[in-house]
Amino acid sequence: MAKQIHFEIFSRRGSKGGWNLVEVKVDRDEAIGLARAMMTDDGATGVKVVKETYDDDTGDYLSLKIFEDGHNKVKTKPAQEDMPHALPCFKPDDLYSYYARKTIARLIPEYLARNKITVTELSHRADLLEKLEATGTLLQHAIQKIAVAQAASTATPVHQIMKNLNELTTKAFHRVYRDNRKGHFPDVEPGKFGLLASDLATQSDGLYVLNGAIARHLGDAVGWDEKVSRLIALMEEAPGEGPGGPLLLTAIDTIIAEILSGSAALRELIGDSDNLGAALMGLVQLFLGKVPEGGERKGLALLTRRFAKDDLPEARTAIAERIIAEFKSVKRLCPESLIDEFKMLRQIANSVVLGVGKYLSHEDLVAAFTLRSKRLVTHETLGEHLADAATPDEKLERLLFVEENIIGVENKRELATFVIPIVTAAAFDNHFHSPKTPVLARLQRLAALNARVRGCNFQEAQKTEIADLLDRIACDVEARSKLFESIDAKTASHVEKAAIVLRLFTAGTFSEPRLSAKARELIIGYLSRPGFLTGYMTLTAKPGADAPDANAVIAELMQTLEKIGISQETGLKSIAA
């Protein structure tokens, strides 16, 4: 059984603040050390570290709180499971509530995945409950874990909670056994579930009986896809009027949501994927109501059509929660290539943003993307990304590529701290002063990098600093090569000189702001020389054609000047006849 472990660090601010996920580490000591530091340096009122163990066989996480500290912390033992505290259960019906079912699914995920059943099926079928009881320690271990979690927030001893839960569980099991013997759960043929739902809608235990009938209907289904197909087919039977329709649709929606909450079911429905990125993209397509690539299964196709119609709200919410959970996980989207990782991140982001709304909040999505981006802006990850870069400018380009594909102000700020040392290094300066590369090619490369930096989302001070460094190098390259001097000395015609500088400008040769400003000054100087307009019209005239219209030539020239940052007013004032 393959296991992957990471440690999630949470912080809390204020006396009533909730827990916020701050960082994820793969090293236990490093995670605890960071949590301790946050208590002293970050002003947190509480911190905790949760160990998350990922099981490849089931695709689910098992959580264990290993550290907690704070001014108003809950007194718990370090080895206690950090599970969501289930609402207190006083009667068997409480075990069928939403939160109880979520807790049960988290307590015994392997059992559910191995038997290909949902919590609703388990809790309504006597044969499955008997099988669970026969496992021996599994049921007792699950009760013990939830008892420990509840004891952490109450004054009741663990053994007393365990006794109460055992009694409650026994009553719930015996209720199902008794109802099964009495035939309380009917065997219903397809086509008659609508009538059953209408009959049960006014009864106090109507949903309980209907779920039992549906569970029996799914009993001989082969695999998750067939179960989904059968459930979707039952939706067609929902009565259009009366309370029977909502009752049947709610029951179906709940069971499908339970199916989609488990990784094992999702893996079978969507199919195996090469990596987490491909699997996550399949989830996003399903959430948007599009059949995932390679998803030709009947149940999956029916499900996506229902999602496209905005049916099954609870099931869609389950998919949305799974998407967010996978984004927050420590697993890489594309472990083999960081370039592919960023491309996949951008692809998923562009797709999933279309689904933001009542099932998927913008805030949750941004927080998940920001957290995943944070894990990519580290010395280890970026070092791997830059390792095979042949030249310093390629390193800079790769970091700018990273900037385009991550989000989060703090992540951008952190990334800029990797950029500045590269640009200020002697190797970067030497690379652009090497005569092995033509001067125009070097200037164009610097101008392109300069433009990308000015258009990026680094903090303004960092962006200005990096762009200024590139511009200074470009000015130095031009000065050493005497590019402008050579153009000025090349020909006696000011018109030709202006045309050359204009062509270089439009070819992206000059960085901003100083080198471009110097080039603009040269052009304005050439424009103001006597005879420029006459000479420019002669230069633009085509052999054998009529003389060009002066107004048209001036208008075209003004458009060109505006593109390079010289206003029409300045151009008209400067141009000489």
- pLDDT tens for 558-577 read 888 898 888 888 878 877 65
Residue 24 has phi, psi (to 5 degrees) of: -130, 130
CA angle 291, 295, 298 (to 5 degrees): 90
Q: Domain boundaries in the chain?
A: 3-70, 92-235, 261-376, 494-500+513-577
Q: Pick the closest to residue 112 from 258, 243, 229, 13 (CA basis).
A: 258
User: What is the dihedral sign for C-alpha 176, 249, 242, 193?
Assistant: negative
pLDDT of amino acid 573: 84
Neighbours of 162 (CB within 10 A): 18
Residue pLDDT, tens place only, 515-566: 999 999 999 998 888 888 888 787 777 665 666 677 887 888 888 889 888 8
**Whether residue 513 has a cis bond before it, omega within 30° of 0:** yes
Mean pLDDT of the chain: 86
- The pLDDT of 299-311, averaged and rounded, is 91
Q: Pick the closest to residue 192 from 248, 243, 246 (CA basis).
A: 248
- The pLDDT of 371-393, averaged and rounded, is 90
> Rounded to an integer, what is the distance from CA 289 to the centroid of its chain?
18
- The pLDDT of 146-160, averaged and rounded, is 77
Give yes or no for residue 55 having a pLDDT over 50. yes
Q: How confident is the model at residue 61 (pLDDT cuts 50, 70, 90)?
A: low
Give the residue carrying structure tokens 């907690």.
68
- The pLDDT of 296-319, averaged and rounded, is 90
pLDDT of amino acid 83: 44
SS3 of residue 482 by DSSP:
coil
Provide DSSP, 82-111: ----PPP--SGGGGGSHHHHHHHHHHSHHH
Q: How far apart are CA 33 and CA 36, in angstroms?
A: 5
pLDDT of amino acid 89: 59
The more confident residue out of 89 and 235 is: 235
pTM, two decimals, is: 0.72
Residue 104's Cβ-side half-sphere holds a number of Cα atoms within 13 Å equal to 23
Q: How far apart are CA 251 and CA 134, in angstroms?
A: 28
Q: Are 61 and 29 in contact (CB under 8 A)?
A: no
Beta strands in 300-450 (DSSP E): none
- Give CA separation, 387 vs 194, 338, 343, 453, in Å: 63, 11, 19, 22
Residue pLDDT, tens place only, 74-130: 444 444 444 444 445 567 777 788 888 888 888 888 899 999 999 999 999 999 999
The pair of structure tokens assigned to 125 is 């079928």
pLDDT of amino acid 572: 82
Give yes or no for residue 458 having a pLDDT over 90. yes
Q: How far apart are CA 67 and CA 10, in angstroms?
A: 10
